[in-house]
Amino acid sequence: MGITKVFFFLPAVILLSIFLIYPLFQTIYLSFTSPNGQFIGINNYINILSRKEVLNLENFPIPPLGALIHNLLWTCIHLPLSIFLGLIFAVLLRNVKGGTIIKSIIFTGMVIPLIVGGLLIRFSFESGPGIVPAFFQILGIKSLSKNWIAYPDTALFALILGSVWLWTGFNLVIYSAALVGIPKEIEEASMVDGANPIQRFFYIILPLLKPVTLTTTMATFIFELKTFDIVYISTRGGPGDASMTLALLMYFYAFRGLDYNSAATVAVFLTLLTLIPAFLMIRQYIKT
């Protein structure tokens, strides 16, 4: 390879080395050392797991349960819900007059800054201006007509449901694009064979969407793990750590507590969790 060809890569290599690669390894290093720079193996990791803000099963199943469990809950609720809704809406909106407008409405959640999204969630779940508590008041469900943000048993779920509202647009758009790619003939043939819409969905559409579902699942998973802005602006992880997430906890450790080693440990843990699906996704991407 000629010397001029090297110049195509040089700027990227320099910037990535300084601001991505070196810092990443530095963070990994920090996670294995004590504040005075001694190598202490996996002690930081063990130490983290014994902290209440990370893992706390005293009041199980009512939050605060620790950031680790909160992230797990977030994934268990948000992932299936946003994928399912995105898929159903994509199928439904194909034959609807003005479907593009509805799609754009749902996609808006992806366009607005997450910090605004977080504020919108708070606005919708706060009693008074919020429409969610008002809705449950009309239904006469007292336990859900309160200020969701202010109570430990509801704050986390308000954020999770709110983030479904924000993220479903992504899955909807991806599935819509994939559905366009399915030849009409396949569906028509199954109609002639007498398959009803539900059979068509499960036996024709769903199997054809399998590769795309891997993508939406991975992207959604990565989004969930990184959640920071939404929590920061709406609850700051409160009340009493009841909506704390790993990403926010890392920030508090590092930039409020100045405990860089614990923060780095949380960061490495988060990175590992995102790299596994990212690796799968990129492998599939390169294959196609």
Partner 1 sequence: MKILKILKNVTINSIAWLIGLLWILPLMGILFASIRPYEEIIDGWWHFENFHFTLENFFKAWNHESFPIRIGFINSFIVAIPSTILPLIIGSLTGYGFARFKFPLRDYFFLFIVLFFAVPFQSIAIPVFRILQTSKLLDTYIGLILVHSSWGIPFATLFMRNFFLTIPIQFEEAAKLDGASDFKIFYKIALPLSLPAMASFSVIQFTWVWSDFFFALLYILSPEKYLATQCLPLLKGLYHTPWDLLSAASVLLMSIPLIIYVLFQKYFIRGMAGWAIKG
- Among positions 125-144, residues that touch partner 1 (CB under 8 A) are 126, 128-129, 131, 134
Nearest approach, Cβ of residue 40 and partner 1 (Å): 17
Alpha carbon distance 165, 121 (integer Å)? 9
Residue in 32, 74, 251, 252 binding partner 1, rule: CB under 8 A: 251
The count of chain residues that interact with partner 1, using the rule CB under 8 A, is: 93
Task: Return the amino acid letter for 279.
Answer: F
Contact call for residue 32 and partner 1 (CB under 8 A): no
CA angle 272, 277, 283 (to 5 degrees): 120
Nearest approach, Cβ of residue 33 and partner 1 (Å): 12
Contact 170, 219 (CB under 8 A): yes
Closer residue to partner 1 (CB): 31 or 56: 31
User: Residue 83 is encoded by which pair of tokens?
Assistant: 């994928």
Q: Residue 137 is inside which H or E element, if any?
A: helix 131-139
Closer residue to partner 1 (CB): 56 or 124: 124
Residue in 44, 71, 82, 124 binding partner 1, rule: CB under 8 A: 124
Contact call for residue 192 and partner 1 (CB under 8 A): no
Alpha carbon distance 185, 193 (integer Å)? 12
Q: Which stretch binds partner 1 (CB under 8 A): 37-45, 53-61, 138-146, 222-230?
A: 222-230
Q: What are 33's strand-pairing partners?
A: 39
Q: Which of 51, 45, 55 has the alpha carbon at shortest distance from 267?
A: 45
Contact call for residue 76 and partner 1 (CB under 8 A): no
Nearest approach, Cβ of residue 276 and partner 1 (Å): 10
